Amino acid sequence: MRTCPDGSYSTSARKALQGFWFTGFELGPTNWTPKIAQEFKMQASYDMVSWLPVLAYEVVESPAQTDAFLADFRRTLHLLFVERHHAVMKQLA
């Protein structure tokens, strides 16, 4: 495919590529990044540091609060995956 000087795909390339089939995602564990605590705080509006034992299957505060943290943590991972992976793949398609 040829790209234009600005790096975008040419009109013929955009017409030729209608989509692609993404068949695999072999990254291994994807629940930690160097900025996950910062991203979590932005999404959930609280610091996750005191809740880190939950990720090692410990109960912190109470079972209900532990479940609430896990829900927030999983939501953050989901949002990051959608934003940083799916959105990028959609732009490429």
d(Cα 61, Cα 53) in Å, to the nearest integer? 11
Residue 3: φ, ψ to 5°: -110, 155
How do residues 6-45 score in pLDDT, each as one tens digit? 655 555 555 555 666 665 566 666 677 788 999 999 999 9
pTM: 0.65
pLDDT at 52: 95
Percent of the chain with pLDDT over 90: 43
d(Cα 43, Cα 65) in Å, to the nearest integer? 17
